[in-house]
Amino acid sequence: MSHEAVISDAHAAYVRRISDNMAEVDLLVPDMHCAGCMQKIERGFAATIAVDSARVNLGNKRVHVRFYSSRSTLEGLIERLSDIGFEATPFSAEMAGSQHDKAARSLLLAMAVAGFAAANIMLFSMSSWFGFDMQGETRTLFHWISAIIATLAIAYAGRPFFRSAFAAIRVGTMNMDVPISLAVLLSLFSSMYEASVGSSHVYFDAGVMLLFFLLIGRYLDQLMRAKAGQAAGNLLALQAVPATVIDEGGSHHVMPAEQVEPGAAVMVATGMRVPVDGSIIEGNSEIDSSLVTGETMPEAVGVGDKVFAGTLNIAAPIKVQATSGGDKTLLAEIVRLMEAAEQGRGKFVRIADRLARAYAPAVHLLAAFAFAGTWWWLGDAHEGLIRAIAVLIITCPCALGLAVPVVQVVASGRLLRGGIFVKSGDALERMAKVDSMVFDKTGTLTLGRMTLENAEDISEHDMALAAALGRSSNHPLSLAVAGALPCEGLPEFDQINERPGEGLIGTRMGAEYKLGKREFVGVDCPDAAVGPELWLVEPGREPVQFIFSDALRPDVAETLKQLSNMGIKLHLLSGDRISVVAEVAETLGLSHWQGEVQPQDKIAYIEALKADGQTVAMIGDGLNDAPALRAAAVSMSPSSAADVTQTAADFVFQGDKLTPVVETLHVSRRTHGLVIGNFGLALGYNIIAVPLAVLGFVTPLIAAIAMSASSLVVSLNAMRLRFDGSK
């Protein structure tokens, strides 16, 4: 199959090309609802040579698939899912919302039917129990009326479980709905048998009540998942804001934001959300960026300032020149970061997956043991069947499957509301174990917004050369130089190379120019500048010094104090001059610091801390910090960091404050505690409940209540994180 197969695919609009032979797509799988389903899907795709990787997100029932477009199409992927027992459709925001609403309504209606039927069956059962003078024919009539009600109710309300169980059995696998369906049907058919032989005791109410409580648990679980992921969902919805585009003739046209081309002029009225990323070309206003950055105070903006999709224009109309729209905006990237975090696999998730995988064979063996043992020991096959049904019900792994994912979704949602984006599924686990933090200085402890202090002492010629070199780098000092002059009219260089942590080398008309640290450019000057500096070296001319100032983040001292109180050892590593780093370290009370540190030195420093038994978090923003971020156990980066640095980091935080570091550490520790607690609740429930069911102390009805209650307790325990304040 050729690469063009993807283009001819009926759903080609949902497929995104990565390279000539690689593509990716998101699939919506509504019937996925447990850790066993997640692992079954991933194993199914792993066995397909056409698939490079598949990551499952249980929270929003999506599967992200990277596949070889020369080997498969989107229809082929959907067919593969069907082969392993799951129906899927290409994902879209509108479809996801409608699917969620449809599933919720279906569960609610099924729950209502089961509850209504159970109440009516209970009336007939009570009449049988307390009607001491009731004749056998009347009791039998009541039993068969109950049988009709139960059969109709189970046929309708049991569809979510029966469909899932049948799909699994059809492809020769098992899932958690197989024993549930078996338990419901066994309770129904055994009661029909008892009614047919005129027995005084039947269990139609137990089978229907079982479904009722199962549906309550599944419905509330779906609502809790939706609530936990509400923050990311809100951001996703903001991508649908329409854009008012102004053409060259001045006419206004309204179109979807994803159709706006870069360079187009977009009018944003007062009270409207910005539909695209771009720069203001006309007007002054205030922008509320709280949903994106976590900052509660509006920010004043004017011509030349950047604005982002999803932020709210609250003061006056502005005209914005679009730089990106649709899935290329900051808002879209935030959503992708959230989804990537939820799709991750930490140690606890892998443990839960392995336990859930062993569930199906174990529970059927236990049920068979309960049936055979009771029949052999008591000589009562009917009692053995009742015990087997109770075992099938009470050992449902719902609580175990929810133990980790629901906590991760709640934690990621809470961090998102604070402007912190989790990029790795196990980042929270790793952050919880941190006892040492290494900070970069420029752009991390400081704002990284450098101001050129001695511009009046520098010639226009030197300024132009430095600006032309500086615009090729994302380093704060280079950006400050580049921003001092307009881009037009700057000299052109044949080639510019950057050495991380040192500087830039440019070649022009055969001559070599350097802009960077004094050691890099070869300047021997004993007089150190008070603040950060760069030196420009041009062949045949004296070196030129550029002096900058950079303010500390407003809350840095309080943040470092809180981290120290939380038991964190603090370290400062910077490529800046020793005198500057020493001044910052003294101001902040840091005893462990080093200046003029190269990227390899930062890695060596972190490795030394790790060798000493410490778990290290690295917080940095520069290009030279990327290797150190990878070397650390876990890492954070501000949103102003270089792209490669953000890619290397496990967390990215917005805004000018450093408080997100404290919040991330606190939430990670609380998440770790809640996951341990959930494992304890889920395993403790099974340790207590299963022996009771095997020994006959638990009826099928009580088993249904206990199983549903365990899932709700685990979910509610995770939801505590939403309301837990930082320490």
pLDDT band at 614 (very low <50, low <70, confident <90, very high): very high
Task: State the Rg of the chain over Cα.
Answer: 32
Tell me the two tokens of residue 150.
């139960």
Q: What is the pLDDT of residues 682-715, one digit of tens each?
A: 778 778 888 888 888 887 667 767 776 777 787 7
The pLDDT tens digits for 302-356 are 888 888 887 888 878 899 998 876 666 766 765 655 455 444 444 555 555 555 5
Residue corresponding to tokens 């550029």: 546
Percent of the chain past pLDDT 90, that is, above it, reads 15
- The pair of three-digit structure tokens given for residue 262, joined into one six-digit string: 């870069």
Is the pLDDT confidence value at 439 over 90?
A: yes
Average pLDDT over all residues of the chain: 78
**Could you tell me the residue ranges of all domains in the chain?**
4-91, 99-230+341-406+677-722, 240-328, 451-549
Domain 240-328: give its CATH architecture.
Answer: Distorted Sandwich (2.70)
* d(C-alpha 103, C-alpha 223), whole Å: 11
Cα torsion 134, 139, 140, 142: sign = positive
Residue 281: the pLDDT is 92
Q: Pick the residue with more confidence: 40 or 294?
A: 40
278: nearest Cα among 316, 310, 232:
310
Taking the C-alpha atoms of residue 194 and residue 175, their distance in angstroms, rounded to an integer, is 30
The CATH homologous superfamily of the domain defined by 451-549 = Calcium-transporting ATPase, cytoplasmic domain N (3.40.1110.10)
**Residues ≥6 apart with Cβ < 8 Å to 494:** 507, 508, 509
Q: Flag whether pLDDT at 527 surpasses 70.
A: no
The C-alpha angle with vertex 321 and arms to 319 and 325, in degrees rounded to 5, equals 115
State in words which class domain 4-91 has.
alpha beta
Q: Output the CA torsion 349→351→354→355 (10° steps).
A: -110
Q: Where are the alpha helices (DSSP H) in 483-543?
A: 518-521
Dump the DSSP string for 592-636.
SEESS--HHHHHHHHHHHHHTT--EEEE--SGGGHHHHHHSSEEE
What percent of the chain lies above the pLDDT cut of 70?
77
Which residues have a catalytic role annotated? 440
How many whole angstroms separate alpha carbon 35 and alpha carbon 51? 21
Q: What is the structure's pLDDT at 526?
A: 60
